[in-house]
Structure 1
């Protein structure tokens, strides 16, 4: 009996040891999965090559990317005071990572200009100072694009409304905001000719309408119009049915029998003349 109890005791101890090992491996795997997920997230935010256009959008994307990598504060430069050896080493590593990420995401032409910059703050300030001024010239172009935009009949209206909304958003990034109600009224005024009656109906409404609500209304109307248009398959089916109803052609008069096909009554055989001897 004592031997049985001792065996059971050792068996339970082995099970507990295996359970602790499995929990340790699971927690380690969980930590690795979180790290890999964060690394994958930072990698997914990697930008396209910056060519000097749309610097506001590029700066926003860089902020999201570098925040995920925990290096966004490097654009502010080195903190004041004397750094310890460990702090200086960490600063150098983070600075090199910041500069390397920026340089690797510049176009080849811009890389030649900024390849010699080794400080994160100096590089960032140079890019912002140059291309923020360049974006100021794009403000007039965007204003003209918004003013001159006209919708066409052979393109989806909702997609064209989204294009107008994108122009407005670009102006907003350039510190030139446009009121939402004004944008909605402009979209109504830019609707194509086939939507003239619908635009008049919207203009007669006195309450204010947002751009989002207007686009939702246009989407419902566009889907309803698309549903009302007969499809090619339906047209072919209707024409086939017409052929089955009138198999002799579209002209109904052709269905009448020809007058030349009428038959006369036959005479009595006894009264018919013999053509051989001319007798009755």
Structure 2
């Protein structure tokens, strides 16, 4: 008896999913949404997160229109789910979601949460004030790190504004040095600022010849500005 021959028939997907944004983990949703919108636009699927299912009427069943919408919605919904982490996929893979309702639910939940974190990040940056008994270079590094969440939330500070904000946060004994930086000609980058501060700090230590036990502490723990 002749053995049956099995032939694999390749199935070509209607949409190539290559180029999807990195998996959404529940953080930085605005950035993920922007990248997802770009991907959907490139694939001609952006309308799936804007248009709800056409509703038939007694005079116009809209059969062809509904069939076309259903096909596009399934592709769009599958693409959005494919761009979620395994944990979020398990939460949102329910068939009750169409592409638009899935998108709206992700936007509602994670953008609201991010708005709270953004407000906290802004408040933390604004309230930070340097203190005298810690290295200024260490505190400057902490302020620069506080700016990173703002950049992720699409609130990146202009470089000059960031540097002037740091200078304004100098402790009282550094005010004259801050004025010198303000009147310094040429562009000052964060890296340049860190170098200038480190040089000034070393110069002050040498001038004062402070004993080790009385030198400013490089405390790596929580800032006193909290």
Task: Please indicate, yes or no, whether the TM-score normalized by the shorter chain is above 0.5.
Answer: yes
- Contact (CA 8 Å) 2:76, 2:99: kept in 1 or not? yes
CA shift in 2, pair 1:149/1:169, >3 Å: farther
- Report the Cα offset of residue 55 of structure 1: 1.7
Q: Does 1:201 align with 2:176?
A: no
User: How many residues are paired up?
Assistant: 174
Query: How far, CA to CA, are the matches of 1:67 and 1:165 in structure 2?
Result: 31
Query: C-alpha displacement at 1:204, in angstroms?
Result: 4.2
Matches within 5 A, 1:156-167: 161=144, 163=145, 165-167=147-149
Name the residue aligned to 1:107: 85
1:43 partnered with 2:21: no
Counterpart Cα distance in 1 of 2:123 and 2:89: 32
Whose helix fraction is larger, Structure 1's or Structure 2's? 1
For 2:116 and 2:195, locate their aligned partners in 1 and report how far apart those are by CA, in whole Å: 42
Report what 1:141 is aligned to: 120
Tell me whether 1:127 sits opposite 2:106 in the alignment.
yes
Could you tell me whether the CA contact under 8 Å between 1:51 and 1:106 is conserved in 2?
Answer: yes
Q: Provide TM-score, normalisation by structure 1.
A: 0.46
Is this contact kept in 1: 2:30–2:153, CA < 8 A? Answer: no
Which sections of structure 2, spanning at least 5 residues, go unmatched?
A: 1-14, 200-226
Instruction: Show the 5 A alignment for 1:13-162.
Output: 43-44=18-19, 46-78=20-52, 80=54, 82=56, 84-117=62-95, 118-147=97-126, 148=128, 153=137, 161=144
- Greater relative contact order structure (CA < 8 Å, 6+ sep): 2
Residues 188, 171 of structure 1: alpha-carbon distance in 2 compared, 3 angstrom cutoff: farther
Q: Separation in 1 of the partners of 2:191 and 2:158?
A: 24
TM value normalised by structure 2:
0.56
Shift of 1:81: 5.3
Unaligned residue ranges in structure 1 (runs of 5+): 1-38, 206-212, 229-280
